Structure 1
């Protein structure tokens, strides 16, 4: 696709339109949260950990309802937040191009408006799916035009609750460490935000130079001329297989434990606004049935992602082939499955993620206090699922809930990342519904802070005495004129 000759002026016109739409909608709302100061320093109303898509949208939603004392922290440099230019290897997004969840109901803020300003409406109609790198460009524009406060190069290494109910974050920046206090914290930390990539135990003896997880950042071009093994059948497995093949891998073997490729995307097929707004209200047993069934079927890779692999003659799919043995020999790996033994130079595990607070140093102190689904619900034997049981059992506004005996202040921390799907449905796992999710999050957080400050707001109400009327707006009909 070709950028239009007048794209710069067209994009400027769009930004002018966006400013006008914000005026028409009276956004952002005026700031209303009373300032909190401790030891002479202003306490953040909200700290957001993660400057990717979910962090940006949640910040925008907070500002829209008048919570402006917000700071986003991301350890990556600007332009490298999230997976889009680092670990992601798909050619395009998997979401339909019309999805407008990031825009929070503001037309000029949509990806489509941004795209058409530069490439034209005809190019949008011709485009099948959004190119991955272009999505990163859009998010950077989104951040700029909304003037969202992202502090890059800042890693949050510890999160602790204080005796007064505040949340203390330890920040490392430029090799220096300090602490920040916030009233509320949003964890917008993505797909692995509450744990780590899941790698089978048999891989523990393999040298790091010979293996990776699909979410790792590694040089795919270094696989040229090598034999590569991919473990998994989901989209990330296909993306890594295709990228390795396109980089010149000599052979790619894809090991899939299921007897056939997953084919049915139940959540997309049954998705609706009803699911977006209604899932939260379902009883726990029904939520579990939805998610357990989705796990049983597994989310299939998109058709175009599989075809991107299978068009290569040196791509080999192995079904009903779980890895039962893995050895590192002097110059290669030896992989064993029920169907045979295979040699490889490098192996990529596209095996998903685990929720494990103890695996992340910034969450270690929270681990004993956060309620899990295992604490709240026991499924029937045939629906047992350890992965689902370790998901956080969240409140209606994405807040963590305390385990028995844990401090209630744990609910001052919010999970706006993938593990929220168990409680809220697939509202944090893709673009279409994240606007609704961010709005739900912001409204809940606003309610929580307002209630916490109720004495201040009540006193302000009692003290308010600025008259609307001055007394000269009328003449009393029965006034005694002889007086």
Structure 2
């Protein structure tokens, strides 16, 4: 995609990118390695470069350069769930923002005509954004293991015999974060021929004419249900353990972003309490999209007790009876225990979790919340042993940071303050670590008064 003249001009007016000021460190390949090249990874890489940190590697497991992040494969909603006016990866440069891109292609009045941003438009915008900021991405590269190098840096294993050493790692790998899909025990034994999580690529065309069960009632569950119905599923049944749905309806006062900005400064007890009261919700349009189909049914107060695969189908025992389906989709969200993440499993016992740091009151206990990593103010892992300082060189800018920061990190609302906060902290860390390597600039040539001798006050009036 070619450069946009307006975006290019905005970058020209900002001035040239600062020269890299971080002294090269012997034995390292990079100063920063960013894992993930979605909206977060690209925004962070762009901000680092504008801050003069240029030895940065951006890695992405996906090998398709046409789409940024996982939106094209996993985002099944028609529109984004966030306010269209929120700042995205442009980080203060309006010429790089979605609105500038959208109006340039659809006219200045098109912006007022949309309520929220279409997912297809967001995918196209992010692809355009990457082209404008010219962030090189190494695609088809999967990080298989992280480990210390014994000198305070991180060894990044990339499969085979490829190992790169970096001073800092930023995990910007989206909703899977520091864990992966949460698979309830009731469905853990089902094979891929009859089961998938919403976090997986699903061939919905293969569900045409078949009966589908959706386990869960949050937004991703409803979006999967609607996609299956629109693709021609014979019946779709959605099961919720709740007695009613939590629906986000238009209107009302949105939460103040300033509350989330200050969230990491709150005491642990207050952060835990606020997160413990969080309930997964569904936008009204996602509910309406699914319920518009007469072959869609919602089962309330219907947690599953068992699911058995037999004869190519799944027999489900739920609180409201026994049912048989051709395929099951779990919209059950994600867990964020580092021990379950392949690249973190080898160092998980060195990473402090919330359960290691805070003991909640009995009525607010949660094993799921307790398994989130306990992060510092720069999104960094906290070591269980204070001597493991290298642990804090790994920063978590993904959904695994939500317990520490109060909102899903990596989503659009988190970029406005999160990316500058992270980049400022990384810059500060490099300055403090390398202070002994910075020497004051030497004057050019020997001392001379040639330019100003005539203006030196002699004490005698002229």
Compute the TM-score of the two structures, normalised by the length of structure 2. 0.94
Out of 172, 176, 183, the position equivalent to 1:188 is 172
Query: Match for residue 471 of structure 1?
Result: 450
Out of 290, 293, 297, the position equivalent to 1:309 is 290
* Preserved contact between residue 168 and residue 180 of structure 1 (Cα < 8 Å): yes
Number of residues paired by the alignment?
Answer: 456
Out of 100, 124, 148, the position equivalent to 1:137 is 124
Query: Match for residue 412 of structure 1?
Result: 393
Distance 1:470 1:430 in 2: 58
- Can you list the C-alpha shifts for 1:360-380, whole angstroms capped at 9, x where unaligned? 221112201111111111110
Out of 406, 428, 431, the position equivalent to 1:447 is 428
1:37 is aligned to 2:21: no
What is the SS of the residue equivalent to 2:109? helix
What is the SS of the residue equivalent to 1:159? strand
* Preserved contact between residue 248 and residue 284 of structure 2 (Cα < 8 Å): no
Out of 142, 145, 148, the position equivalent to 1:155 is 142
* Preserved contact between residue 427 and residue 437 of structure 1 (Cα < 8 Å): no
Query: Match for residue 395 of structure 1?
Result: 376
1:431 is aligned to 2:424: no
* Preserved contact between residue 306 and residue 318 of structure 2 (Cα < 8 Å): yes
What is the SS of the residue equivalent to 2:277? helix
Distance 1:313 1:399 in 2: 48
5 Å-filtered alignment, 1:52-451, equals 52-77=38-63, 78-172=65-159, 177-263=161-247, 271-294=255-278, 298-404=279-385, 407-426=388-407, 428-451=409-432
Distance 1:470 1:129 in 2: 65
Cα RMSD (Å): 2.2
* Preserved contact between residue 44 and residue 70 of structure 1 (Cα < 8 Å): yes
Distance 1:28 1:386 in 2: 46
TM-superposed CA distance for 1:140, in Å, is 1.2
Distance 2:371 2:112 in 1: 43
1:22 is aligned to 2:3: no
* Preserved contact between residue 18 and residue 52 of structure 2 (Cα < 8 Å): yes
Query: Match for residue 3 of structure 1?
Result: none
Query: Match for residue 5 of structure 1?
Result: none
What is the SS of the residue equivalent to 1:209? coil
Instruction: Show structure 1 runs of 5+ residues with no match.
Output: 1-7
- Can you list the C-alpha shifts for 1:208-239, whole angstroms capped at 9, x where unaligned? 20000011102011000000000111000000
TM-superposed CA distance for 1:471, in Å, is 3.4
* Preserved contact between residue 79 and residue 136 of structure 1 (Cα < 8 Å): no
TM-superposed CA distance for 1:289, in Å, is 1.0
What is the SS of the residue equivalent to 2:145? strand
Distance 2:16 2:94 in 1: 13
- Can you list the C-alpha shifts for 1:313-364, whole angstroms capped at 9, x where unaligned? 0000000000112122214211111211111000000011111222222111
- Can you list the C-alpha shifts for 1:71-119, whole angstroms capped at 9, x where unaligned? 1000102134432111221111111222222111001010010111111
Distance 2:272 2:388 in 1: 27
* Preserved contact between residue 36 and residue 60 of structure 2 (Cα < 8 Å): yes
* Preserved contact between residue 325 and residue 336 of structure 1 (Cα < 8 Å): yes
Distance 1:377 1:128 in 2: 41
Compute the TM-score of the two structures, normalised by the length of structure 1. 0.90
What is the SS of the residue equivalent to 1:156? coil
